[in-house]
Amino acid sequence: MIRHLVACLIALALGTATGPAGAREVLPAIPTPQEAPIALLVDASSGQVLYTREAARRFVPASITKVMTTYVAFEMMRAGRLSPSKQFAMDAAAFRDWHRKGSTMFLGLSEPVSVDTLLHGITTVSANDGAIVLAKGAAGSVEGWVALMNIKARQLGMRDSHFGLPNGWMDEGRTYVSARDLALLGRTLVTRHSQLYHRYYGQRSYSFNGITQQNHDPITGVVPGADGIKTGFTEQAGYGFLGTAQRGGERLVMVVAGVDDGKTRRKAAQEFMEWGFTAFDRHVLLPEHARLGVADVQGGASRQVGLVAADAVSALLPHGTTAKFAAILHYAGPIRAPIRRGEQIAQLEVRIDGKRSHWLPVLAAEAVPRANIFQRLVNGLLGLFG
């Protein structure tokens, strides 16, 4: 049977939302992100873009690269292929090339260090040596680890990114990203690996071998709700930052890049994030696990499966503004059985007048096993007679 794309309008999600009664149509001016050539702010739960400038432009991320290194490590830990207690050591080649090179946690030659310690060093003090030791230990070689980084980037849909080293050190332009891709990586890191994220990110300092170093994160501990993620700087890249904060269950992810100096980056990041939380109202279109409809099933005990929203379907609007919303369900169907309950089998496109669509996962409301012989016969007869 030919698989086809199904797109249907969900009437329940079609409507108009307005700001608070009597509110003026006020959208505070964007503050110092004007001083960042590249800037992006997104709602973490929906991916809705709240502000964008040059989001698809490729640039050198410097140490922000280490976010992908930690994401790969988190994925391996989730799969049971890497233990936090596993120990690796810096070999002679790594010591020669990376001992005290740039940001470092001062690893010694042949000194056994746990994955847990390496990850703290990478996330908090941006340890170039720690990223190399983790890569070689977990993947067997730096090249093998970098291959994993690029595989994960493709799986996430990071279309404008490529990685050449685990730590973001200058590599003649082989490593590049876009703000759009970094925001996607940040959203996925926080939502898919929430517990690991909170364990390793958001620390203001870290001590190893009697040396305490400070985190250069410009918003954590300053902007309410901020808890990461990673700064980057080289002469080639300038100053950049991938950051996130959460207030009252609402999480935003931001990118600023290409900034001329650290002071400007700090001011831009702090004011940009604060603007995001104060300039918008959230409007809930559909509650969490709302039933959205059904999808056709091929070869299943049932000919259809219910579709539910993974989370509440919402959108952010500037204070006092009005907009029409439409939610459109997309899936490639019929969907082949077996289907697990809670499996993502469709997407919901949320359209807001005058804004770019954002997409949300849609899950199977129930399990649909493969049809037995009798069920296949019944399904065939039903198909013949409509």
How far apart CA 377 and CA 133 sit, in angstroms, is 59
Residues 247 and 353 in one domain: no
Burial 200-231 (b: 16+ CB within 10 A, else e): bbbbeebebeeeebebbbbbbeebebbbbbbb
Band (30; pLDDT cuts 50, 70, 90): low
Domain assignment of residue 144, yes or no = yes
Residues 327 and 209 in one domain: no
Domain assignment of residue 27, yes or no = no
Domain assignment of residue 129, yes or no = yes
Residues 264 and 290 in one domain: no
How far apart CA 300 and CA 336 sit, in angstroms, is 7
Residues 261 and 304 in one domain: no
pLDDT digits (tens, 9 = 90+) for 278-296: 999 888 888 888 899 899 9
Q: What is the pLDDT of residue 315?
A: 87
pLDDT of 12 above 50? no
Residues 262 and 174 in one domain: yes
How far apart CA 161 and CA 143 sit, in angstroms, is 17
pLDDT of 2 above 50? no
pLDDT above 70 coverage of the chain, percent: 88
pLDDT of 28 above 60? no
**Which of 252, 278, 304 is the C-terminal boundary of a domain?**
278
**Which of 230, 253, 278 is the C-terminal boundary of a domain?**
278
Domain assignment of residue 221, yes or no = yes
Domain assignment of residue 99, yes or no = yes
Band (124; pLDDT cuts 50, 70, 90): very high
Residues 250 and 306 in one domain: no
Domain assignment of residue 26, yes or no = no
DSSP letter at 108 equals: P
pLDDT of 323 above 90? no
**Which of 278, 312, 336 is the C-terminal boundary of a domain?**
278
Asked if 76 and 92 count as a contact pair (C-beta separation under 8 A), the reply is: no
pLDDT of 209 above 90? yes
Q: Which domain holds residue 300?
A: 4-21+284-384
**Rounded mean pLDDT, 45-52:** 91
Residues 90 and 230 in one domain: yes
Domain CATH number, residue 324: 2.60.410.10
- The CA-based angle 227-184-273, given to 5 degrees, is 40
Domain assignment of residue 98, yes or no = yes
Residues 231 and 126 in one domain: yes
Residues 100 and 211 in one domain: yes
Residues 135 and 255 in one domain: yes
End-to-end CA distance of the chain: 16
Residues 210 and 310 in one domain: no
Band (377; pLDDT cuts 50, 70, 90): low
Q: In three state form, how does the secondary structure of 191-203 look?
A: HHCHHHHHHHCCC
Domain assignment of residue 176, yes or no = yes
Q: How many domains does the chain have?
A: 2
Residues 244 and 313 in one domain: no
Domain CATH number, residue 268: 3.40.710.10
